[in-house]
Amino acid sequence: MRSKSKTIPVLAAAVLLLIVAVFGYVQADDDKKMPVRILFKNNGGKVIFSHLVHHRDYAIDCAKCHHDRESVAVGKDDEALACGSCHPNEFDESYIEGHMDSFPDETYCVRCHHTEYGEVIFDHDAHTDYADDCYDCHHGEEIEPEPQKCANCHKGEDSEDLVSMRVAGHESCRTCHEDMFHQGLSSCKSCHVAVDMTQYEGDYTSCNDCHETETRELVLPRMNAFHDQCMSCHEEMGAGPYGPDNCNQCHISR
């Protein structure tokens, strides 16, 4: 026969576990309160990060690390995004599909998708005077029986036998305006009017359509985001582990 004295603690423990589980679940999903310490499991060996100690004892503002928040006044009870929602392991297909759901609202999108191009500045009438002939820009009879909109044929993406509208436009304008492309990204505005991003509601253009750099050089991938933030502060303050010989002060097992 089981004694009550054993059942009660077991029951109590079970109830406590349930509360913890439910609470933990709610915590994780609804309002992510400031964790006391964080355990990172990764290929370099586990890292224990004393989150609260860093904030309270080393007197570091939340916003110093959580630069996802515009407002500097982040309090102990405020939410913060996981670093990985912006700094993933890979900028692959699953990131592209998944990352849009990682943010509480659209104001976050603009942080990275910082510009889109609207109208192109092009005065057709004036240009018919600048050129000798319509066919300086329009294809001849064989392809374009009548001069018409380029976009009737050239589309958003390159296809097997047709360059994209972007390449078609650029190549064609370049024949006279090579100089307009000389100053890298800052030259784009001589033809492109930038859209006011606070009003923007369309699809976002891929970073690489404008930047020739790899995406990962524009937004750091996960490991670099942690290494750079943790270590550059330690180095700056001359306290806490950084540098090539101190891996084991953060990574406790391999």
Residue 38 binds ligand HEC, judged by CB under 6 A: yes
In single-letter form, the type of residue at position 126 comes to A
Smallest separation (angstroms) from ligand HEC to the CB of 26: 14
Separation of alpha carbons 167 and 148, rounded Å: 17
> Of 1 and 202, which CB lies nearer to ligand HEC in the complex structure?
202
Tokens of 232: 């550059």
Binding mask 214-253 for ligand HEC (x = CB under 6 A): -x--xxx-xx-xxxxxxx-xx--x-xxxx-x-xx-xxx--
Residues near 25 by beta carbon (within 8 Å), at least 6 away in sequence: none
Smallest separation (angstroms) from ligand HEC to the CB of 18: 23
What b/e sequence results for 95-122 when a residue is b if at least 16 CB atoms lie within 10 Å of its CB, and e otherwise? beeebeeeeeeeebeeeeeebbbeeeee
CA distances from 169 to 111, 115, 144, 177, 179 (A): 28, 20, 16, 11, 15
Residue 193 binds ligand HEC, judged by CB under 6 A: no
Judge contact between 184 and 177, C-beta under 8 A.
no
Separation of alpha carbons 223 and 97, rounded Å: 21
> Of 19 and 122, which CB lies nearer to ligand HEC in the complex structure?
122
Smallest separation (angstroms) from ligand HEC to the CB of 16: 24
Return the residues of window 102-121 that contact ligand HEC according to CB under 6 A: 103, 106, 108-109, 111-117, 120-121
> Of 2 and 124, which CB lies nearer to ligand HEC in the complex structure?
124
Return the residues of window 44-103 that contact ligand HEC according to CB under 6 A: 44, 47, 49-51, 53-55, 58, 60, 62, 64-68, 74, 76, 78-87, 91, 96, 99-100, 103
Please, what is the end-to-end C-alpha distance for the chain in angstroms?
Answer: 48
Smallest separation (angstroms) from ligand HEC to the CB of 118: 9
Residue 158 binds ligand HEC, judged by CB under 6 A: no
Smallest separation (angstroms) from ligand HEC to the CB of 143: 5
Residue 176 binds ligand HEC, judged by CB under 6 A: yes
What b/e sequence results for 231-253 when a residue is b if at least 16 CB atoms lie within 10 Å of its CB, and e otherwise? bebbeeeeebebeeeeeeebbee
Nearest alpha-carbon partner for 32 in 81, 67, 73, 68: 81
Q: Which stretch binds ligand HEC (CB under 6 A): 1-9, 11-19, 197-205?
A: 197-205
Residue 139 binds ligand HEC, judged by CB under 6 A: yes
Smallest separation (angstroms) from ligand HEC to the CB of 20: 18
| Number of shown-chain residues binding ligand HEC (CB under 6 A) | 132
